[in-house]
Structure 1
């Protein structure tokens, strides 16, 4: 696969999240791995398959277009956001015009594969996640909607508690549109799907592909948790990593396991092969993410590039695979403000740099798309 080094075009302002007619899996099937069969190969049969599921009561289609307020709760965390068809038909011509900001580069081939798949399915199967700092007025409107009785509420197969409100009143939709027009959003999850949306729009202008499904979360209201994605590196030894980190100007100190893990609350990294533990203190991380320092300053100084870089969403997962031939690099959690400032200054993070959690279960809200 090609190298992740391409940034897709930027969607320009005004930010527009439009009503659509949602298809939803039946509550007992949301989050059920067996439900993935509805979206499986051959992709060209997915639309007909979903129609059969609707006829058989395994899925439903809403009666009319709406903007949806979707709230899900899992593990004690509640996330709430507006779900709609994100207008991707206009591009920004200057940084000040950008409405949607990616923070990672993408693999063009992967984006192309996703675009082809969605086109065959005639469906956006899941929303990309966007985060922003919403206005107090928008939070008040969303908060008022959330006091109403939900149109749908249930506990899905994964244990997520789902609540969904359909916003259809013209005056309310107009108010929300006005409040969203000046929004600038960071992509939290779905960089390749976002790039696929843009590719589909370019290939099919003036059709339903002028938009793509998105969920917009206010990070000041019900914030997503921003965690680190750790690494195991096959090939270099722990000594190789220490030498490269030292050459990059970091202080490296031998620690015990407990003390080493404790520093992950600050701007430090931890290196381990499962037996030895070292803390790494890079210089000048005030305006730079530790994961960027690792990829830009340390890995290029290794005697040979890693044969493979594995990504892990938990430290326990990385530590379970750490060994002398595959040392682990544990990274501190990024700071949302730091990431936002970085991308708005024109920077990017390496691939798999951030983990925004929790994500909604598959099948809660899907968007059929017509070429006509």
Structure 2
């Protein structure tokens, strides 16, 4: 139960959602398609994808969440769009407070189930919710400006917790499974362009809410995705005087025991140095092997995965060749990161951040990030006008992230790409026209 660090709590809300199963009856567009209205998280939306999504469906949720550099209007424009969509009936507020069961199934058959609700922010220093990576100030301010302008949480952060196995599974984990296993009719059943099937149910029973609250009170959660949004929640809460709606933030909570997430890598495109020159410099602290060109990026990724079983490893690629770096000198890592644990120093992103990027004279934030797609990282390196190398990284294990964060450490920046990520637009939370009964929900 609550140890003084604040209990983990996921409270119900009256979610704001696209009207009906397909919303076409209330939107002046008979061609409205909910699947096309849903968006990836804001930090995965670039200018090209924004233009495509908002052309395919003018009511795409990215119109509310994309940064101004991508979407052109400032957040006053996002607020006007949100309020107009509510006034026009594009978005409607559910009649009863609910915790939402959310199921995602990927084309490969990975199924993830969780609960969407309002996370009560623990007190400062509390351990009920813990991050796993560091944050930058600018994205926090950006998300806080958006939330303040719209008075809304427009996309949930993504939390993991350990819910137990078999008969030991708690009420929250079982609640996430129950609607699908009972064959209940979902509020939403749609397939987005990435092939992921999304189903959503509203759990409105107050007794179930109480059982979920009792189960979660003794647990802790890890932020899988949404560190900057969580910090923005904190920033907005700190501006308030006394309790209120900013004490809560929209969240998806997933039991990683019942629904192990997919954990992908975040590759880098490093400017200013080619793959061969970077590989030659790395020989001072690691084994470096040239890789054959046949088999392409897929073979490079397979060889990298094999090497990573023995310790930190990474691969380099550009037009000059492909190289595998492994057997990193432990002494060099201890010297480069004396303030960190052995578990932290064993992470491939730790070797990249503390050892190799300084060796190559590259600042960490100068590297372009590419989520999951190694071939795309190689392509982008090749498209640069000057020297650039694709740095391919193996994925971490969820157990590694739990171990490091359990020690009170943070993984190196952008070490993980947890998935599948919640789709933006399925459930939004507006602070206007409360009540959400935020005080009674305690």
What is the TM-score with the length of structure 1 in the denominator?
Answer: 0.87
Of 198, 223, 239, the residue aligned with 1:203 is 239
Of 143, 152, 156, the residue aligned with 1:127 is 156
Q: Distance in 1 between matches of 2:365 and 2:186?
A: 51
Q: Distance in 2 between matches of 1:79 and 1:351?
A: 25
Provide, for residues 245-292 of structure 1, a one-character-per-residue CA deviation record: whole Å limited to 9, x for no partner.
223x21111121345332222313111223311111133598221011
Of 251, 264, 273, the residue aligned with 1:214 is 251
CA shift, 1:208, in A, is 0.6
CA shift, 1:168, in A, is 2.0
Q: Distance in 2 between matches of 1:145 and 1:351?
A: 37
Is the contact between residue 89 and residue 201 of structure 1 (CA under 8 Å) also seen in structure 2? Answer: no
Of 130, 140, 154, the residue aligned with 2:174 is 140
Please say if 1:53 is aligned against 2:85.
Answer: yes
What is the alpha-carbon root mean square deviation over aligned residues? 2.6
CA shift, 1:221, in A, is 1.6
Q: Distance in 1 between matches of 2:141 and 2:358?
A: 29
Q: Distance in 1 between matches of 2:9 and 2:365?
A: 43
Of 258, 261, 282, the residue aligned with 2:301 is 261
Of 3, 7, 18, the residue aligned with 1:14 is 7
Question: 1:5 matched to which residue of 2?
Answer: none
CA shift, 1:117, in A, is 1.4
Of 360, 370, 393, the residue aligned with 1:302 is 360
Q: 1:213 to 1:326 in 2, by over 3 A?
A: same
Q: For structure 2, which runs of at least 5 residues remain unmatched after alignment?
A: 23-32, 39-52, 66-70, 334-341, 435-442
Question: 2:140 matched to which residue of 1?
Answer: 111
Q: Distance in 2 between matches of 1:81 and 1:304?
A: 39
- 1:134 aligned counterpart, secondary structure: coil
CA shift, 1:42, in A, is 4.8
Q: Distance in 1 between matches of 2:364 and 2:92?
A: 48
Question: 1:320 matched to which residue of 2?
Answer: 379
The answer to which of 345-354 and 214-223 deviates more is: 345-354
- 1:115 aligned counterpart, secondary structure: helix
Is the contact between residue 244 and residue 299 of structure 1 (CA under 8 Å) also seen in structure 2? Answer: no
Is the contact between residue 82 and residue 150 of structure 2 (CA under 8 Å) also seen in structure 1? Answer: no
Of 188, 212, 231, the residue aligned with 2:224 is 188
The answer to which of 59-68 and 147-156 deviates more is: 147-156
Of 36, 53, 67, the residue aligned with 2:99 is 67
Is the contact between residue 67 and residue 84 of structure 1 (CA under 8 Å) also seen in structure 2? Answer: yes
Q: How many residues are matched?
A: 357
Q: Distance in 2 between matches of 1:101 and 1:343?
A: 8
Q: 1:128 to 1:303 in 2, by over 3 A?
A: closer
Q: Distance in 2 between matches of 1:46 and 1:88?
A: 25
Of 318, 321, 324, the residue aligned with 1:276 is 321
The answer to which of 231-240 and 312-321 deviates more is: 231-240
Q: 1:15 to 1:298 in 2, by over 3 A?
A: same
- 1:365 aligned counterpart, secondary structure: coil
Question: 2:68 matched to which residue of 1?
Answer: none
Please say if 1:225 is aligned against 2:262.
Answer: yes
CA shift, 1:322, in A, is 2.8
Please say if 1:246 is aligned against 2:308.
Answer: no
The answer to which of 352-361 and 136-145 deviates more is: 136-145
Q: Distance in 2 between matches of 1:142 and 1:240?
A: 51
Q: Distance in 2 between matches of 1:365 and 1:194?
A: 17
Q: Distance in 1 between matches of 2:94 and 2:80?
A: 17
Please say if 1:355 is aligned against 2:417.
Answer: yes
Question: 1:155 matched to which residue of 2?
Answer: 190
What is the TM-score with the length of structure 2 in the denominator?
Answer: 0.74
